[in-house]
């Protein structure tokens, strides 16, 4: 072999050795471990109902998506219609690296969840709709939809001709009963002798039952209906549309629902769950979360009244002025809407 060829082979061998050393220095045990701060956050959502459409559960899913979009978190979600299913998912998500698990039902803030949380102290659990005092790594997110419900009640009480108003709910739980109580407070502030009647379907998703219950209220001369009927909402809207020639109107809940029945939905009590979720989880990610149950209402910028532009002209100017003044007072905290205790 001539000396020139030997030199070439020696050079190739040297380059190969240097490349191997450089590769080794960045891939073997000497590689600095990636810090937890640099790793993507993992967040999970558990809901009782499907996340399609609009309303309580779909809004929560939008919130999860916003956590992904704004915070770069890896996200996952599941529907758990039964409480025992939810508990199993809390346990599963806790063991798969999730830093935040959101349970979108107030009743899930319970002793069984606290046991799971105690066994997983590095996981932060957030329970929608609960105002129970935080326990270690479990905190509630109390959405004060009552602020907007009071204003809707005031509108209905000011405009009713029959003096009868109706509320349609799904399963009777305190957080929904409190929205109806606030609606009644607002109605009575406008018309002290108004009759506010509340009915329940005993289901989170029964559209037919919601329609039947609404028809019954309309048969009792109710001319304004406020629903917080979860996935049964379409049934409420359909029943009211059957009486729209009699001037009956309805209010939406949790989201601006006017597009679902623009001919009869006067306004909606809106809760910006996506913003709530993103803001609270951002604090957790940044290490600024105080660990306490969060109270999130109109004054905090998470709740408001959304008017249906096609129908808002039906509201008398003096009534709208008073309603807007109410909103301003709630915002600056000079007026507080009373709500039922959920503890």
CA angle, residues 263, 302, 205, in degrees to nearest 5: 55
pLDDT tens, position by position, 188-203 = 999 999 999 999 999 9
pLDDT-based confidence at 56, cuts 50/70/90? confident
Residue 342: what pLDDT? 72
- With beta carbons less than 8 A apart as the criterion, state whether 308 and 294 touch: no
Residue 280: what pLDDT? 96
Residue 266: enclosing H or E segment and its boundaries? strand 265-271
For residues 297-302, average pLDDT: 95
Of the listed ranges 13-22, 83-92, 146-155, the one predicted with least confidence: 13-22
For residues 79-103, average pLDDT: 94
Instruction: Give the residues across from 306 on adjacent strands.
Output: 268
Residue 19: what pLDDT? 34
230 phi-psi bin (left φ>0, alpha ψ -120 to 50, beta other): left
Residue 24: what pLDDT? 36
pLDDT above 60 (res 325): yes
Kindly report the pTM of this predicted structure. Answer: 0.80
For residues 321-328, average pLDDT: 98
pLDDT above 60 (res 321): yes
For residues 5-18, average pLDDT: 41
Give the CATH superfamily of 42-143+274-296. Answer: Response regulator (3.40.50.2300)
Give CA separation, 81 vs 52, 85, 87, 204, 262, in Å: 15, 7, 11, 9, 31
The whole-chain average pLDDT of the chain stands at: 89
Instruction: Give the residues across from 249 on adjacent strands.
Output: 224
Q: What's the number of CA atoms in the CB half-sphere (13 Å) around residue 147?
A: 32
pLDDT above 50 (res 127): yes
Collapsing DSSP to helix, strand or coil, 191 comes out as coil
CATH 3.40.50.2300 fits 146-270+311-331, yes or no: yes
User: CA 322, CA 341: separation in Å to the nearest integer?
Assistant: 27
Residue 278: what pLDDT? 96
Residue 278: enclosing H or E segment and its boundaries? helix 273-286
pLDDT-based confidence at 23, cuts 50/70/90? very low
- With beta carbons less than 8 A apart as the criterion, state whether 276 and 296 touch: yes
Q: What's the number of CA atoms in the CB half-sphere (13 Å) around residue 322?
A: 18
pLDDT above 50 (res 17): no
For residues 22-32, average pLDDT: 36
pLDDT-based confidence at 204, cuts 50/70/90? confident
Domain boundary assignment for the chain: 42-143+274-296, 146-270+311-331
Decide if 42-143+274-296 and 146-270+311-331 have a common fold.
yes
For the chain, percent of residues with pLDDT exceeding 70: 88
pLDDT above 50 (res 92): yes
By C-alpha distance, which of 125, 80, 118, 128 is closest to 99?
125
- With beta carbons less than 8 A apart as the criterion, state whether 137 and 121 touch: yes
- With beta carbons less than 8 A apart as the criterion, state whether 268 and 258 touch: yes
For the chain, percent of residues with pLDDT exceeding 90: 79
pLDDT tens, position by position, 211-249 = 999 999 999 999 999 999 988 999 999 999 999 999 999
Residue 38: what pLDDT? 60
3-class SS shares of the chain: helix, strand, coil, % to 5? 45, 20, 35
Residue 55: what pLDDT? 72
Collapsing DSSP to helix, strand or coil, 70 comes out as helix
């Amino acid at each position: 072999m001539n000396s020139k060829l030997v030199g070439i082979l020696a050079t190739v061998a040297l380059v190969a050795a240097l490349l191997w050393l450089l590769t080794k220095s960045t891939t073997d045990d000497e590689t600095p471990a990636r810090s937890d701060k640099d790793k993507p956050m993992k967040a999970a959502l558990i809901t009782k109902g499907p996340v399609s459409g609009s309303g309580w559960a779909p809004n929560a899913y939008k919130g999860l998506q916003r956590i992904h979009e704004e915070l770069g978190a890896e996200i996952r979600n599941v529907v758990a219609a039964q409480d025992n299913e939810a508990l199993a998912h809390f346990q599963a998500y806790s063991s798969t690296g999730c830093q935040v698990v959101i349970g979108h039902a107030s009743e899930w803030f319970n002793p069984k969840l606290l046991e799971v949380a105690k066994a997983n102290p590095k996981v932060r659990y957030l329970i929608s709709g609960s105002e129970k005092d935080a326990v270690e790594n479990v905190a509630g997110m109390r959405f004060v939809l009552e602020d907007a419900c009071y204003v809707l009640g005031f509108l209905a009480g000011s405009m009713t001709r029959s003096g009868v108003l109706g509320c349609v709910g799904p399963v009777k739980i305190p957080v929904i009963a409190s929205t109806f109580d606030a609606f009644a407070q607002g109605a009575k502030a406008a018309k002290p002798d108004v009759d506010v009647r509340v009915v329940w379907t005993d289901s989170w998703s029964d559209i037919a039952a919601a329609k039947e219950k609404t028809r019954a209220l309309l048969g009792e001369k109710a001319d304004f209906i406020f629903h917080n009927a979860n996935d049964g909402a379409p049934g409420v809207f359909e029943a009211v549309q059957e009486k729209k020639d009699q001037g009956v109107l309805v209010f939406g809940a949790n989201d601006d629902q006017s597009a679902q029945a623009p001919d009869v939905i006067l306004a909606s009590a809106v809760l910006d769950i996506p913003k709530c979720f993103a803001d609270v989880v951002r604090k957790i990610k940044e290490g600024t979360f105080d660990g306490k149950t969060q109270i999130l209402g109109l004054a905090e910028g998470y709740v408001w009244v959304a008017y249906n532009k096609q129908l808002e002209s039906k509201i008398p100017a003096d009534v709208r002025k008073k309603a807007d003044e109410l909103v301003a007072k709630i915002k600056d905290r000079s007026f507080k809407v009373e709500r039922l205790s959920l503890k």
